[in-house]
Chain A
Amino acid sequence: MSTPPTTRAQARPEAELEAVRKALSSAPRPARSSGLQAGLAFGWRGMLKIRHVPEQLLDVTITPVLFTLMFTYMYGGAISGSTSEYLQFILPGTLAMSVLFTTVYSGVALNTDMTKGVVDRFRTLPIWRPAPLFGAVLGDCVRYAVAGSVVVLVGVILGYSPGGGVGGVLLAMLLVVVFAFGLSWVFTTVGLMMRTPQAVMNGGFMALFPLLFISNAFVPPETLPSALEAFVDVNPISQVVTAARGLMDGTSEFGDVALVLGLAALLTAVFAPLTMRLYRTRG
């Protein structure tokens, strides 16, 4: 290899270099960002990605529509005797299902992110260390809200009328999103342990499917064999559905809601630090 000298003709014009020098020397040094500012900045990053590729919201909009339509019209007559009555029963269930399936996405997105060079930059910035993770999961909560709203909208179009009124519905959505926030940390942990996004997706759905279906979301548990009924009763997803159903029907009990909030806090307390640890030490 020869070493040709850098001639003036090859070099950038002096004026441009001058601009680089100026940009360097004018660099202000603001005070270190707060954890909140950094976290929100990462949430903003998530929003920008949705704005650039809005199609990625299709899976959180179309799937819930399909779920709601299919369950209402296929099983309505068989389970409740009429579709309209069944709709009243399952809408809180499809709400929970649609939102909770979306939580797998948090793990998939994080796993994908880790393969990119930009994560190295984030991890060498002087910022509150969990900010990239909290920001991403906060951004994901917007997806959860979208998925939840779609389900409720479809339900209302089909004739759903909540006993708990608009306020009850909004509180139920909020509750489900809060639980989804907690559950997201399970999947971000999985996302950092698995090798490929595909594996995270498969593993996530494989774990969620039985939990969601062997719950009180779609059938009254009294009709189940006793062993199954016992499982349904302790299944945390059932707790979420029960609490959401109570809020939407206007028959909510404080204990149900508190239990779900406690579960969300527990999941966050266990899996957020675990995610953080894996994020910090991964390669």
Chain B
Amino acid sequence: MSAQYPLAIEATGLVKTFGETRAVDGVDLAVRTGSVYGVLGPNGAGKTTTIRMLATLLRPDAGEARVMGHDIVTESDAVRSVVSLTGQIASVDEDLTGRENLVLLARLLGFGWSDARARATELLEAFGLEEASAKLVKHYSGGMRRRLDIAASIVVTQPLMFLDEPTTGLDPRSRNQVWDIVRALVAEGTTILLCTQYLDEADQLADGIAVIDHGKVIAEGTPGQLKASVGGGALRVRLLDPEQRPEAERVISNELGTVHLEADPAALSVSCADADRAAHAIAELSRAGVRVADFSLGQPSLDEVFMALTGHPAEEEPQDEAATQEEQAA
């Protein structure tokens, strides 16, 4: 399949408006088959609307997209036979039990009754839900519900899976479980389009990332490229004694160039991507008698990337409440 469709998703100029709000305003995406592609952005940025168009739930107002080679408007039936969706609000029936949900989906996907029951049992065991299998889903915890949701998405393993904010609202343990499941999916060759508002989630899982804000892709690349685009890495040094900062600044700027003095009176940073040169600078500090509390050399975090790209932090609540509500109502 990967040979047949090198691009699992190919979207150009997707637009969707709700009333006055342009929820998606010209989104281009190219997702390689077999990869995890992260769509990163704050609430209301247009992530869910984009996924809903690609999953044939919404018809785009403009632009076009092909999913596994099938046009999402004219060949929507073919698209549905190669995708599965795990939506932002859990896409399982909370008035049924976990087992009933899986048996129902297996029946809908063409299994006979006994095969459907066997498949449900296998998935319940694999996802650690066998004890809760006879409980109504409305009594499940957030983590269990999410695991059932993903299990429901792989009753039949589709080549492409949409995961819309799979860990929003989960505790760290459940989040790690979901991440491991996603990695297992990828190892089996599933292509995943992952929408998330968590930068570390995209960093952990995605091979490629599109940063989306106000319905537009504002940056695209590998996590590394995105970080590099904000200026490579940085050496951060914190001193034991703030009094020594002028001396430290002189030493480091000799070695590495212009030093940035941070708000913390004992801290300073300098842009530097080379570990050898950074180590040399630290050694020079020591030789000059400047006592260092700690130092780090690293790429900028995706938080910094987002800040640099959009001018506002990723966690910021959406300014346009209406856009979020439209998106949720949709």
Bound-complex Cα distance A117 to B166 (A): 13
Binds B, one of A75-83, A124-132, A256-264: A124-132
User: Which residues from A are CB-within-8-Å of B173?
Assistant: 10
Minimum C-beta distance from A52 to chain B (A): 6
In residues 94-124 of chain A, which contact B (Cβ within 8 Å)? 116-118, 120-124
Beta-carbon contacts of B108-143 to A below 8 Å, as 1s and 0s?
111110010001001101111000000010000000
Contact of B36 with A by CB under 8 A: no
* The stretch of B39-47, B149-157, B208-216, B248-256 that contacts the partner chain: B149-157
> Which of B56, B95, B109, B184 touches A20 (beta carbons < 8 Å)?
B184
A52–B56 touching, CB < 8 Å = no
Q: Of residues 41 to 64 in B, which have CB atoms within 8 Å of A's CB atoms?
A: 52, 55-59
A37-64 Cβ-contact flags toward B at 8 Å (1 or 0):
1100110110011001100000000000
| B204 in contact (CB, < 8 A) | yes
What residues on A are CB-neighbors of B28 within 8 Å?
none
Please, what's the 1-or-0 string for B296-330, where 1 marks a CB less than 8 Å from any CB in chain A?
00000101000000000001000000000000011
Q: Which listed residue (A30, A49, A126) contacts B81, Cβ 8 A? A: A126
Query: CA A121 – CA B56 in complex, angstroms?
Result: 11
Asked if residues B91 and A1 are in contact (CB atoms below 8 Å), the reply is no
Q: Is the CB of B87 within 8 A of A17?
A: no
In the bound assembly, the distance between CA atoms of A118 and B96 in angstroms comes to 11
Please report the C-alpha to C-alpha distance between residue A8 and residue B155 in the assembled complex, in whole angstroms: 28
Q: Which residues of B contact A32 (CB under 8 A)?
A: 81, 109-110
- CB pair B80–A52 under 8 Å, yes or no, is no
Query: Given that A3-B204, A118-B91 are known contacts, is A10 also in contact with B176, CB under 8 Å in the complex?
Result: yes
A28–B172 alpha-carbon span in the complex (Å): 33
Is the C-beta of B228 less than 8 angstroms from some C-beta in chain A? Answer: no
Tell me the chain B residues, 77-115 only, with Cβ under 8 Å from chain A: 77, 80-81, 83-85, 87-97, 100, 104-105, 107-112, 115
Contacts of B93 in A (CB 8 A): 45, 116, 118
A6 to B188, CA, bound (A): 20
Contact of B96 among A16, A45, A125 (CB under 8 A): A45
In the complex, A25 has a CB within 8 A of chain B: yes
Asked if A33 is at the interface of the complex by the 8 Å CB criterion, the answer is yes
- Bound together, the chains give a CA A127 to CA B87 distance in angstroms of 18
A124:B127 contact, CB within 8 angstroms:
no
Given contacts A12-B176, A12-B177, A21-B187, contact A124 B83 (CB under 8 A): yes
CB <8 Å contact, A33 and B109? yes
Question: Are B109 and A123 neighbours in the complex by a CB distance under 8 Å?
Answer: no
Chain A: CB-nearest residue to B200 = A3
Interface size on B, residues (CB 8 A): 69
- Does residue A26 face the partner (Cβ distance < 8 Å to B)? yes
- Report the Cα distance A125→B104, complex, angstroms: 12
Contacts of B207 in A (CB 8 A): none
Whole-angstrom CA separation of A19 from B105 in the bound complex: 20
Q: Is the CB of A126 within 8 A of B80?
A: yes
Q: Once bound together, how far apart are the Cα atoms of A23 and B121, in whole Å?
A: 10
Q: Is A206 an interface residue (CB 8 A)?
A: no
In the assembled complex, B181 has its CB within 8 A of some CB on chain A: yes
Q: B203 interface residue, CB < 8 Å from A?
A: yes
**Which residues of B sit under 8 angstroms from A234, Cβ to Cβ?**
none
Inter-subunit contact B89/A117 (CB<8 Å): yes
Shortest C-beta distance, A155 to chain B (Å), equals 33
In this complex, what residue of A is CB-closest to B153?
A121
Confirm or deny: A207 has a beta carbon within 8 angstroms of a beta carbon on chain B.
no
Interface membership of B199, Cβ < 8 A: yes
Which residues on A sit within 8 Å (CB–CB) of B234? none
Known: A48-B96, A127-B109. 16 other contacts (CB 8 A): A1-B198, A16-B126, A20-B184, A23-B126, A30-B109, A30-B111, A44-B107, A45-B96, A53-B95, A118-B92, A118-B93, A120-B55, A120-B87, A121-B92, A122-B108, A127-B108
Binding site for A on B (CB under 8 A): 52, 55-59, 77, 80-81, 83-85, 87-97, 100, 104-105, 107-112, 115, 119, 122-123, 125-128, 136, 151-152, 154-157, 172-173, 176-177, 179-181, 184-185, 187-188, 190, 198-200, 203-204, 301, 303, 315, 329-330
